[in-house]
Amino acid sequence: MFSWHSIPFARYLLAFVLGIFIAIYVTQISFEILVPIVLLGFGAILIFSKTSILKKHKFKSVLGLLVLGLLVILGVFRTKLYQQTNLPHYFKKIEKAQFYQVEIKRSVVEKAKFFRAYAEVVNVIDSQGKSHKSSGKILLYLSKTLAIKQPRIGNQYIILAESNDIPPPANPGEFNYKQFLSYQNIHHQTFVHNEVIELNAYTYSVFRFAEQLRDEVRLILKNAFKNKEVLGVAEALLIGYKDDLDQEVVAAFSRTGTLHVLAVSGLHAGIIYWILGFLTGFLKKVPRGVIIQTIIIVLSLWLYAFITGLSSSVMRSALMFSVVGLSKLFNRRTNIFNTIYVSAFIILVINPLDIVNVSFQLSYAALLGIVFVQPMINNWYAPYNKIDKFIWGLISVSFAAQLFTFPLGVYYFHQFPNYFLFSNLIIIPIIIVLLVLLILTVSFSWIPIVFEFLTFLSQGLIQINNYLVKWLDQLPGSHINGLHLDFWQLAFIYLSLFLFLLIFSTKLKIVFFSFLSVILILLLSFSYQNIIHQKQKILTFHDIKRHDVYTCMEGKKVYIISDSIFLSKKSAIRFHLEPYFWEHGIQEILTCDFSKNHAFANLKIKKDLGFQFFDRKMTMYNNGISESDSIDFLVVKWQPMMEILNLKNKRNILFISNLKYNPNINDSFLHNLGFTNKYYSIKLH
């Protein structure tokens, strides 16, 4: 029988999470309002809990509601406090700034022409040379032409006080890098090509030590593996370093549902937790052995976190399993769900923005699926021996984790691996052995004979693993691509999963009928969405560097109109356009070269001049265009803005390639021209 009383922290966590979401999506809330509300909330709870009226059961519920309400407010307060743009000393709020003193905070990524790093603006120097203590993260690009050493965590520089907002995505459906960085407290970026002073002093921190430790491990791996594909997988698997990964290998892992093995997080921490628990199991038989075992496991987890450079995902996983281990030590009867909620609560108190982190969501979804569903699945079959038990356990764990993570996988990555059970059954045992081998390879790198033997075994196993992943990827129907869910569909899928599991634990009719109602709502939502997609007629102007790109959607078919060079770039189409197509249920893609004539039922393209989609006409040239010409769209690249706006044809709607970056253009102007959003999409009727 399901009971909230057995998992009290679930309610506290949900209330705190609600507060975080309010803080993220309701921007009008200020500290001036929050501080007195928090104080009043604490006061009300203190007074209410001390009164004799609390002895009555109905008033205990009132106190519970007060506590939950206060946790909502605390969630808002903690998030607003964590968001650096709300702080008075945020670097963009300091006037007359001339120089920034920045400090590298996170591992540096080396690109062809620059180094990219997350930095903190620790001081702002104004025009009079006065220094102001400040805070605020910034995305820092340091040109390789600068006369400086390779940046490291803790290094400090004086740079010009020039920064720009992170630009939003230029095309509909594109990855929103601006939003991604905002969830990491980064809202501005700066490109440093000259005028930089490297300070001799640096700040030493645990992150700098962890980076040095990870670099030492990387050097050992580079000496061990000369094959680039093998090296990339070894680095990703052991320390989470992905810059050397072959993109074809990454794609194959992704499509087979095994990409999580290359992202050092919950799986790796769980494997290490399980291996250490197995190796130290004998300690349970000695006095205080459980305490010693727990200390060894927790310290080993955090040592592994240091080896990986203390990445956020690994720290979350280490903290999560540390809480699980310590809870077993202090209270063996503790509810595992409650322990999971406690670990999530601690993580979100430290960094409330982790709630919108994909890695955080997938880790906890998988963990909840395993502890909630796996025991139920495990009872469906009674294994005959230890090997049978291991295989069935792996199947049940994979299915349970996939059940709770597949909605997020579809929502974020728009695909579903059909052979996830089969691929995990093959790959996970290899990964367990491989992870142990790589740890031993690094540990015994100082003994040449042992090092070479372990390197030989590791390399062979990585090559076998890569071959199997690619083979699985090439099987017919290995994955379904182009899936799309909106936020509410995602929410209702998880609600239906929750209600479905409640049916077995409560046996209540209201739960069963609620489940059917949610399923009906989902079916109606998908049906309505399908009808909209079948009727859609959308003309979109895209903003892609060095290319003119237009798409014409007609039902579930789309025409891409561009030059032959862009049309040959499958990766560019995949990045810039495919997510937009998936959102609109596109099933057929046709490409049209602008340098050729094309004629379809509702689309006509005239070579190097323009096209007509239904009754809308577009030309790329304005030479000879008079006010009497019935041109709907005119693409102008270098024409002065005012000269363009002086064209006053009744039907002329103008599209300018740099429209979104012009300060004279606002949302109402675009709306009056007929555009539905800043990506210049027009729905035809």
- Report the pLDDT value the prediction gives residue 638, as an integer from 0 to 100: 42
Instruction: Summarize pLDDT for 506-539 with one digit per residue, the tens.
Output: 778 888 888 899 999 999 999 999 999 999 998 8
- Measured between alpha carbons, how far is 459 from 229 in angstroms, rounded to an integer? 10
Give which of 550, 559, 554 is closest to 537, Cα–Cα.
554
The domain segmentation of the chain, as residue ranges, is 4-82, 91-204, 210-352+420-481, 487-531, 536-683
List, in sequence order, the alpha helices (H) in 280-330.
289-307, 312-330
The more confidently predicted of residues 422 and 262 is 422
- Residues contacting residue 420 through CB under 8 Å, at least 6 positions apart: 256, 257, 398, 402
- Measured between alpha carbons, how far is 85 from 395 in angstroms, rounded to an integer? 46
Instruction: Summarize pLDDT for 39-81 with one digit per residue, the tens.
Output: 666 566 565 555 555 555 555 666 667 777 788 888 888 888 8
Give the 3-state DSSP-derived string for 561-613, with helices as H, strands as E and coil as C. Answer: EECHHHHCCHHHHHHHCHHHHHHCCCCEEEEEECCCCEECCCEEEECCCEEEE
Give the 3-state DSSP-derived string for 645-660, with helices as H, strands as E and coil as C. Answer: HCCCCCCCEEEECCHH
Of the ranges 10-14, 309-313, 397-401, 457-461, which one carries the lowest mean pLDDT score?
A: 309-313
What are the φ/ψ torsions at residue 339 (nearest 5 degrees)?
-65, -40
Band of pLDDT at residue 229, cut at 50, 70 and 90: confident
Q: Are 156 and 148 in contact (CB under 8 A)?
A: no
Band of pLDDT at residue 658, cut at 50, 70 and 90: very low
Residue type, 185: N
- Measured between alpha carbons, how far is 671 from 333 in angstroms, rounded to an integer? 61
List, in sequence order, the alpha helices (H) in 351-419.
358-378, 386-413
| Nearest-10 Cα torsion for 379, 380, 386, 391 | -120
Class of domain 91-204: mainly beta
Give the mean pLDDT of 191-206: 80
- Strand 616-619 to 633-636 pairing: parallel
- Measured between alpha carbons, how far is 618 from 654 in angstroms, rounded to an integer? 9
Of the ranges 110-124, 132-146, 314-328, 521-535, which one carries the lowest mean pLDDT score?
A: 314-328
Q: Which residues pair with 109 in a beta bridge?
A: 116
Residue type, 146: L
- Measured between alpha carbons, how far is 457 from 459 in angstroms, rounded to an integer? 6
- Report the pLDDT value the prediction gives residue 617, as an integer from 0 to 100: 77
Give which of 341, 498, 263, 511 is closest to 404, Cα–Cα.
498
Instruction: Summarize pLDDT for 556-591 with one digit per residue, the tens.
Output: 999 999 888 999 988 888 888 999 999 999 999 999
Q: Are 522 and 493 in contact (CB under 8 A)?
A: yes
- Report the pLDDT value the prediction gives residue 650, as an integer from 0 to 100: 38
Q: Are 597 and 583 in contact (CB under 8 A)?
A: no
Instruction: Summarize pLDDT for 234-258 with one digit per residue, the tens.
Output: 888 888 777 777 878 778 877 877 7
- Measured between alpha carbons, how far is 626 from 103 in angstroms, rounded to an integer? 57
Q: What tokens appear for 98 in the block?
A: 């001339």
Query: With 50 as the cut, is the pLDDT of residue 662 above it?
Result: no
What are the φ/ψ torsions at residue 682 (nearest 5 degrees)?
-125, 125
The more confidently predicted of residues 495 and 658 is 495
Task: Kindly list the distances between the CA atom of residue 680 and the CA atoms of 389, 392, 636, 677, in Å, as whole numbers in the listed order.
Answer: 57, 53, 14, 6
Give which of 163, 168, 156, 27 is closest to 94, Cα–Cα.
163
Give the mean pLDDT of 311-321: 77
- Report the pLDDT value the prediction gives residue 332, as an integer from 0 to 100: 54
Query: With 50 as the cut, is the pLDDT of residue 465 above it?
Result: yes
Q: What tokens appear for 355 in the block?
A: 């709630």
Measured at the alpha carbon of residue 500, what is the angle toward residues 496 and 503, in degrees to the nearest 5?
Answer: 140
- Residues contacting residue 75 through CB under 8 Å, at least 6 positions apart: 15, 16, 17, 18, 19, 20, 22, 23, 352
Instruction: Summarize pLDDT for 168-198 with one digit per residue, the tens.
Output: 888 888 888 898 898 888 999 999 887 788 8
DSSP code, position 355: G
Give which of 193, 135, 134, 140 is closest to 166, Cα–Cα.
140
Query: With 90 as the cut, is the pLDDT of residue 274 above it?
Result: no
pLDDT, mean over the chain? 79
Within 10 A of 211 (CB to CB), how many other CB atoms are there? 21
| Nearest-10 Cα torsion for 666, 669, 671, 675 | -80
